[in-house]
C-alpha cells in the first residue's frame, strides 16, 4: 500500500467519526459552526487558487461576507444571501474600478470574486436548511453517505476496471466505468437509508433522488477539476493529508446540498 493511500485511510479514520459526532451531538448550532468553518476554509482555498494577488484586506472582507451568507442560512433569513451577493458585487466592482490599470482584465477578477461567493458559502449553506427539517440529521447522513459511497466506489472501480475516459480534457483519471460504479454504490446506500431510516419516502422518488445526487455529485467533482486545471493545480490545498484541500472533499457536496434541498421542497 502506498504512503499516499495510507494517509488517505488514516485521515478518513479520524475525520469521519469526528464529523459524525458533531452531526449527532453538536445540535443545530454546532452543525452550523461546522458548515461555517468548512465554508471559510474552502473560500480561503478558492481565493488562494484564483485570486492570488488579492490584498489581505480584500480577502478578509470576502471571508466576512461569506460567513454572513452562512449566518443568514442559520437565521433562516433566506432573502439575505441575495442581498449579500448584491453587496459583494457592488463592493467588488468598486475595488476593481479603483485598481484597474490599462491591460488588466478586471472583468475576470470580478467574475472570480462573485463565483467564489456562490460556489462555496451559498451552495454549502443549504446544508443548514436540510439539518432543520424533520429527521434533518438523518437527511444529512443520507446525502453524505450517498456521496461518500459513490466517491469511494468510483475511485476503486475506476482503478480496477477503468478503460474509457469520462472527461480526459478535465480529469484524465476519471473513467466511465468508475462513474457507473459510483452510481451503483449511490443506489445501494440510498436504498438502505430509505428502507431503515426513511420508510415514508417512496421508492420511485428515492431512486430518482439518489441517481440525481450521484450525477450532480460527479458533476461537482468535474467542475472543481476544471477550475483547478485552469490554474494548473492538482489539489485545492493540503488541509486533509492524502486527500488534498477542503474543496477537494466537498466539491460534490456543493452541488448535491442545494439539489437535495430543492428536490425535497418541491417534489416531496
- Across the range 200-210, mean pLDDT stands at 95
> Long-range CB contacts (< 8 A, 24+ apart) of 76-85?
76/129, 76/132, 78/129, 81/122, 81/125, 84/117, 85/114, 85/117, 85/118, 85/122
Higher model confidence: residue 228 or residue 144? 144
Q: What is the pLDDT of residue 128?
A: 97
Residue ranges of the domains in the chain?
Answer: 3-267
Helices (H), 100-242: 106-117, 123-124, 126-131, 136-161, 176-196, 203-230
Beta-bridge mates of residue 165: 175
- Across the range 95-106, mean pLDDT stands at 68
Torsion 239-254-211-136 (CA) sign: positive
- Across the range 37-58, mean pLDDT stands at 90
Nearest to 58, CA basis, from 112, 113, 6:
113
pLDDT at residue 161 tops 80: yes
Q: What is the pLDDT of residue 125?
A: 96
pLDDT at residue 22 tops 60: yes
pLDDT at residue 138 tops 60: yes
pLDDT at residue 189 tops 80: yes
CB atoms within 10 A of CB 236: 24
Amino acid at each position: 500500500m502506498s504512503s499516499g493511500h495510507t494517509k488517505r485511510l488514516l485521515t478518513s479514520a479520524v475525520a469521519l467519526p469526528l464529523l459524525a459526532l458533531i452531526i449527532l451531538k453538536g445540535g443545530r448550532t454546532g452543525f452550523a459552526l461546522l458548515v461555517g468553518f468548512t465554508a471559510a476554509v474552502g473560500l480561503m482555498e478558492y481565493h488562494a487558487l484564483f485570486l492570488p494577488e488579492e490584498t489581505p484586506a480584500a480577502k478578509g472582507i470576502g471571508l466576512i461576507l461569506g460567513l454572513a451568507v452562512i449566518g443568514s442560512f442559520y437565521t433562516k433569513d433566506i432573502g439575505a444571501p441575495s442581498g449579500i451577493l448584491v453587496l459583494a458585487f457592488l463592493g467588488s466592482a468598486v475595488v476593481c474600478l479603483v485598481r484597474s490599470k490599462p491591460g488588466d482584465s478586471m472583468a475576470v477578477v470580478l467574475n472570480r470574486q462573485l463565483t467564489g461567493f456562490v460556489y462555496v458559502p451559498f451552495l454549502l449553506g443549504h446544508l443548514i436548511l436540510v439539518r432543520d427539517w424533520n429527521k434533518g440529521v438523518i437527511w444529512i447522513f443520507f446525502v453524505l453517505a450517498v456521496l461518500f459511497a459513490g466517491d469511494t466506489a468510483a475511485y476503486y472501480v475506476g482503478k480496477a476496471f477503468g478503460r474509457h475516459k469520462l472527461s480526459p480534457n478535465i480529469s484524465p483519471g476519471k473513467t466511465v466505468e468508475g462513474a457507473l460504479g459510483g452510481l451503483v454504490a449511490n443506489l445501494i446506500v440510498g436504498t438502505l437509508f430509505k428502507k431503515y431510516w426513511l420508510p415514508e419516502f417512496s421508492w420511485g422518488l428515492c431512486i430518482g433522488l439518489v441517481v440525481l445526487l450521484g450525477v450532480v455529485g460527479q458533476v461537482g467533482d468535474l467542475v472543481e477539476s476544471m477550475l483547478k486545471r485552469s490554474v494548473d493545480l492538482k489539489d485545492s490545498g493540503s488541509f486533509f493529508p492524502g486527500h488534498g484541500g477542503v474543496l477537494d472533499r466537498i466539491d460534490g457536496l456543493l452541488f448535491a446540498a442545494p439539489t437535495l434541498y430543492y428536490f425535497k421542497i418541491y417534489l416531496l
